A and B are shown apart, each in its own frame.
Chain A
């Protein structure tokens, strides 16, 4: 029996690299300044692998694996940038855009949107997949915030921040597949929620214009999730 080594060595994009045990491919790649696009990942929250943008090739694995939830193994060979992955990223992005009604020019989060920023940085020029144009609602019942299902990409950041940081667990996901929606409490109007503390963390972590502060119009919905790592640290046991 050999003891588990304290450091794991692996190859990422042809470069020899090291990772601590329990470290994910994404965390290790970031430490080595290798870019992997993400959308549902947010420092300070748990990872769920919902957006599929961080898919990477691992030698020996039959399918692409999400970098945010896959731990580094000794001797792993990871490819983060290849034509195949680039094509998949483009498709995933296009699917995200086509699934609901993402119209940047009139969106409150225009120029403050992570989905938009990723589309720009990954060079997405147009969406080949036909838009579904689903008929979705807007919930403006809350005193200070608005939920617009049309812009939601189901990254579940709001659910995780509400459950893990605020501890209220007002948000969750209902339904399955294409019917999935984020809900507050028993799918009731946000303003009538008993558990919501109106802290606004969900609004700050939302990557798109799905959650925004009231009295903001096109392009004014800037976000600031920088409080997260601070809160996470302060709430850990001393």
Chain B
């Protein structure tokens, strides 16, 4: 006889956990729903914290280490809260050969952080993305939701200054 595990309670009364639970229910609490559920957590909370991963893993009966491994394997999942602004620079092949590496180097120097990190004041997150599907406009960068084609270091610099200076 298989021992049945009870599903954990919601971590808090926050309504967003209901959305997360909804995704898992939609997939019948199947283990395959892990990535889908982590997406829902990220969309609802903006990032994945350890409590969220622990809750999802326990609900889907997946070992916590395995869920954490999946969350850290994919660049799309963020384990820290995002900054107020996000600067995404595409490092896909077309953008790369058109000088995206220089853009990234400049942004890292300007913000004093590495790609994938957020400035200590929580103002700007710098992300490296792989191909946003606009290769004909390479190099492409995305400031918040705004896509910039044929990005230049000067324009990037101006945008970062606008964000970081009061």
Binding site for B on A (CB under 8 A): 163, 168-176, 183-187, 194-195
Query: Judging by beta carbons under 8 Å apart, are B65 and A175 in contact?
Result: no
Knowing A175-B73, A176-B73, the reply to whether A186 touches B68 (Cβ < 8 A) is yes
* Dominant secondary structure at the A interface: loop
Q: Contact string, B22-63, partner A, CB cutoff 8 A, digits 1/0?
A: 000000000000000000000000000010011000000001
Cβ-defined contact, A186 with B50, below 8 A: yes
A183 to B53, CA, bound (A): 15
Contact A186 B64 (CB under 8 A): yes
User: B65 near A184 (CB under 8 angstroms)?
Assistant: yes
Q: Are A169 and B73 in contact (CB under 8 A)?
A: no
The residue in chain B whose Cβ has the minimal distance to the Cβ of A169 is: B63
Name B's interface SS.
helix
Interface: B72 (CB within 8 A): yes
Task: Tell me how many residues of B have a C-beta within 8 Å of chain A.
Answer: 11
How long is the Cα–Cα vector from A170 to B50 in the complex, in angstroms?
Answer: 16
Q: Which residues of B contact A195 (CB under 8 A)?
A: 63-65
Find out whether the CB atom of B73 lies under 8 angstroms from the CB atom of A172.
no
Q: A175-B73, A176-B73 are in contact. Are A183 and B68 (CB under 8 A)?
A: yes
> Does B66 interact with chain A (Cβ within 8 Å)?
yes
B69 at the interface (CB under 8 A from A): yes
A173 to B66, CA, bound (A): 7
Q: CA–CA, A108 to B66, complex, Å? A: 29
Q: How far is the CA of A184 from the CA of B66 in the complex (A)?
A: 9
Q: Cβ of A170: which chain B residues have Cβ within 8 Å of it?
A: 63, 65
- Give me 17 A-to-B residue pairs in the complex whose CB atoms sit less than 8 angstroms apart, sorted by A's number: A168-B63, A169-B63, A169-B66, A171-B65, A172-B66, A172-B69, A174-B69, A175-B73, A183-B65, A185-B65, A185-B68, A186-B64, A186-B65, A186-B68, A194-B64, A195-B64, A195-B65
Q: Bound state CA distance, A200 and B130, in angstroms? A: 41
Q: How far is the CB of A135 from chain B (nearest CB, A)?
A: 15
Q: Are A186 and B53 in contact (CB under 8 A)?
A: yes
Residues in B with CB closer than 8 Å to A185 are: 64-65, 68
> Which residues of A are found within 8 Å of B63, using beta-carbon distances?
163, 168-170, 172, 195
Interface residue ranges of B117-134 to A (CB < 8 Å): none
Specify the chain B residue showing the minimal Cβ separation from A173.
B69
- The CA-CA distance from A57 to B38 in the complex, in Å, is 41
A-side contacts of B72, CB under 8 Å = 174-176, 187
Closest residue of B by beta carbon distance from A174: B72
List 4 additional A-B contacts (Cβ < 8 Å) besides A183-B68, A186-B65: A172-B66, A174-B69, A174-B72, A195-B63
In the complex, which residues of chain B have a beta carbon less than 8 angstroms from the beta carbon of A187? 68, 72
Q: Which residue of A lies closest to B63 (CB)?
A: A169
Measured between C-beta atoms, what is the minimum distance from B166 to chain A in Å?
A: 35
Residue of B nearest to A179 (CB): B72
